[in-house]
A and B are shown apart, each in its own frame.
Chain A
């Protein structure tokens, strides 16, 4: 189970902007540690964002997304009390879901 994400969602003029910071090493598999051993690839592969039960974004990622990834997108709608949830899965089978409630 990964570390918690930071999700901010702000609704203005009928549109909701979502910003997500995820805690993940995003190792490419090409980096060597201090002993000179290759650090195995470890990166998020799929991200899904939902607004209440509707999918509002899906992303497929390689290892070239930066460490501790940042993602910003926006969708139509959003009302106070609505849930915005973000879920990721990585190549080592780890996953994480966090959510925020619109104000």
Chain B
């Protein structure tokens, strides 16, 4: 367990304030509110749970997830999240962290993850799901590392392209696409500043902060949750967890965010 000093906290706060002004959000009226949180993020409680789950011997095969390859070799968690989604030869597809974790629980531990795949996110007031806890822990192990989502395999490039198209896909009764809200810079919805996600600056701010502790829900939410909840607000049908569109969007945002430092779990409204 790392012990952060108070001066570290102050530095982080100062950096957070500097960052918010650097992104042209000087007029962000929530800057003071966010700065008051410092780096004391309740997501840490979920990271702990995730760490235990990662190391725990579970499932019919009675092994821990330390046998799981997140892309950098079996059991390597440090830096793994910053390089996902990526192509996995064993599964024959591009997977993000959440899809990969379910795959490992299924194949490595022999667990039945049907239920978890159907309900990957906890209900309000309920304990975090294993997937949320594991995601928080794994993402935190990439803190400070540069995002490097690969575009080597043709399927990785295809995922990026699908994500780009999905981002602009207008549909449903309100004609909304991701770009409706996230295609311009310096805008806000109600009082919430909106990131422009189809260019690197906004994508970096987004990708590096998820998973995040969502204050409104008192829980850590994952990047797949973020995608699915945007789809809900776009009035689209339910975005399937681990689906081509979900992985595509995450790949698209990740590649645009390449080079930025991971700083998840973040803290969000």
B90 to chain A, nearest CB (A): 34
Interchain nearest-CB distance for A3 vs B (Å): 7
Stretch at the interface among B1-9, B12-20, B221-229: B1-9
- Kindly state whether residue B218 has any CB partner on chain A within 8 Å: yes
Cβ A21 vs Cβ B218 within 8 A: no
Q: How far is the CA of A72 from the CA of B124 in the complex (A)?
A: 26
In the complex, whether A17 has a CB less than 8 A from a CB of chain B is yes
Given contacts A21-B42, A25-B218, A39-B125, contact A8 B4 (CB under 8 A): yes
B28 contacts A by Cβ under 8 Å: no
Task: Tell me the complex Cα distance, A27–B125, Å.
Answer: 8
Residues of A with C-beta under 8 A to B218:
25, 66-68
* Interface: B45 (CB within 8 A): yes
Q: How many residues of B contact A (CB 8 A)?
A: 14
Q: With A and B bound together, what is the CA distance between A61 and B44 in angstroms?
A: 22
B175 at the interface (CB under 8 A from A): no
Interface residues of A in 52-82 (CB under 8 A from B): 66-68, 70, 72
Nearest residue (CB) in B for A102 is B3
A1-35 contact mask (Cβ, 8 Å, vs B): 1 or 0: 00111101010100001010111010100010110
A31 to B216, CA, bound (A): 13
Q: Give Cα A22 to B49, complex, Å.
A: 13
Contacting residues, chain B, for A68 (C-beta < 8 A): 42, 45, 218
Most A CB atoms within 10 A — which of B3, B42, B123?
A: B42
CA distance A12 to B124 in the complex (A): 40
Instruction: State the CA gap A5–B45 with chains docked (Å).
Output: 7
Is B48 part of the contact surface with A, judged by Cβ < 8 Å? yes
Interface residues of B in 1-58 (CB under 8 A from A): 3-6, 40, 42, 44-45, 48-49
Mask of B43-77 contacts with A, CB within 8 angstroms, 1/0: 01100110000000000000000000000000000
| Residues B125 and A103 in contact, CB atoms below 8 Å apart | no
Residue of A nearest to B42 (CB): A68
| Chain A residues packing against B (C-beta within 8 Å) | 3-6, 8, 10, 12, 17, 19, 21-23, 25, 27, 31, 33-34, 39, 66-68, 70, 72, 103
- What are 23 A-B residue pairs whose CB atoms fall within 8 Å in the complex? A3-B49, A6-B44, A6-B45, A8-B3, A8-B4, A10-B6, A12-B5, A12-B6, A19-B40, A21-B42, A21-B44, A21-B45, A22-B45, A23-B45, A25-B125, A25-B218, A33-B124, A34-B123, A34-B124, A67-B218, A68-B45, A70-B42, A103-B3
